[in-house]
Amino acid sequence: MINKLKITFLVGVFMMMFSGHIQAQLQQGQLVDGIAAVIGDEIVLESDVEENLNYAKQQGASNIDKCEFLENLLNNKLLVYEAKKDTLIENRSVAIKEQANAKYNQMLSQFPDEKTMLTAYKFRTAYEMKNAIEKMDTDTYYGQSKYQRITEKADVTPNEVTDFYNKHKLQLPEIKDEVSLAQIMMYPKLTEAHKQELIDKLKKIKQDIAGGETFESQARIYSEDEGSAANGGLYKNINRGQMVKSFEATALNLQEGEISDPVESEFGYHIIQLVRRSGKIYDARHILLKSTPTEEEITSAKKKLDSIKTLIVDGKITFKDAAFKYSDDKRTKFNAGLIPGADGSSKIERESVPGTISYELAGLNKGDITNAFEDEDSRRKVVKIVKIEDAIPSHQITLETDYDRIKQMALNKKRDEMVGKFINSKLSTTFISIDSRYDSCQFRSNWKKESLTK
Domains, the chain, ranges and CATH? 4-170+400-438 (1.10.4030), 176-187+294-396 (3.10.50.40), 192-290 (3.10.50.40)
Q: For 116-127, what is each residue's pLDDT tens digit?
A: 989 998 899 999
- Which residues have C-beta within 8 Å of that of residue 418, sequence separation ≥ 6? 150, 151, 154
User: Could you tell me which residue, 1 or 297, shows the higher pLDDT?
Assistant: 297
What predicted TM-score, i.e. pTM, was given to this entire model? Answer: 0.68
- In this predicted structure, the answer to whether residue 406 has a pLDDT above a threshold of 70 is yes
Quick: pLDDT tens for 159-201.
999 999 999 999 998 889 999 999 999 999 999 999 999 999 9
Confidence of residue 281 (pLDDT cuts 50, 70, 90): confident
The rounded mean pLDDT for the chain is: 88
Could you tell me the sign of the dihedral formed by the alpha carbons of 395, 400, 406, 410, in that order? positive
For 56-106, the pLDDT digits (tens) are: 777 777 777 889 889 989 999 999 999 999 999 999 998 898 888 888 877
pLDDT at 32: 43
What whole-number distance in Å separates Cα of residue 441 and Cα of residue 187?
56
Confidence class for position 3, pLDDT limits 50, 70, 90 = very low
